[in-house]
Amino acid sequence: MASKTVTIKPEFLHTSKRKTKRKLPEQVVIQPNTLREILLNKLIERRKTQKTRIDPPVLNDVSFDGPSEAAVICAVSPVADSYSNKDKPYGILKNGTKPTFKTWNAQPHPIPSVPPVQVVEAVPEIKVDIPEPETKMDVTNETNETTETTEKMVLGKNKKKKCVYVLIENNKTRKLHGERAQKIKKTSIQTVRNYLKNHNLIKSGSAAPNPLLRTLYENVLFCGDITNQNKENLIHNFKDKE
């Protein structure tokens, strides 16, 4: 196999003994209290030197091309400064030259003087006798009188007209229906049994459950005055009374 030789310059094998270090600028350490005082002084100087003002617009005199008598000059009133440079007695920085609003508000302040109230004398009443008119006018207030009429309707099958009347409830009727249902549910079970027995809807001593009797009682009251004409129930309840 052919051998290869690698040549290296001797300059790269020597290292320089002298090394130059770059000098960095020394950092100045500022204490927090000193930095705070510097910032406060700068803010105070800036407030003293800073002045903000809105200059009024400059308008030139307006004149028309015409005779000298028709010349019109617009007088511009000076614009008042919208910025109030009134210094406040409190500040927003702690340990500053001015106290904070909380500290300033806790201190007693002088009460502003109020001007005295001026008493105004009452003006005397002046009575003037107005003569009555010779001709009187008949003035009648026309008002629309509303009359209420009630019409009795019989629901159910009508044999004469061969039709069936059905009641369609509106919001008012539905609300009354719900209020009546709440009152019926509060009725005692003994009252429910006596009502159903007097109308011969159940036999005396019936063992029907209470929820079923309440449902039957509600349906009977909403449908109307219903009475059962079954002879078996009539005889049974009549014997039980004796």
Which helix (H) or strand (E) segment is 158 a member of?
Answer: strand 156-158
Distances (CA, A) of 38 to 42, 85, 193: 6, 24, 96
pLDDT score recorded for residue 73: 47
In 10 A of CB 200, how many CB atoms?
Answer: 21
Please name which of 165, 163, 224 lies closest in space to residue 199, comparing C-alpha atoms. Answer: 224
Cα first-last separation, the chain: 142
Give the Cα separation of 99 and 88 in Å (integer). 11
Walk along the chain (242 residues) and give the pLDDT tens digit of each residue: 567 787 777 777 766 666 666 777 777 677 777 888 888 888 888 888 875 555 555 555 545 455 444 444 444 555 555 555 577 888 888 888 888 888 888 888 888 777 888 877 777 888 878 877 777 666 666 677 888 888 887 888 888 888 998 888 889 888 888 888 899 889 999 999 989 888 888 888 888 899 999 999 998 888 877 888 888 888 888 887 76
Residue 167: both structure tokens together: 């009641």
Give the Cα separation of 135 and 240 in Å (integer). 87
pLDDT score recorded for residue 82: 53
Give the Cα separation of 194 and 213 in Å (integer). 11
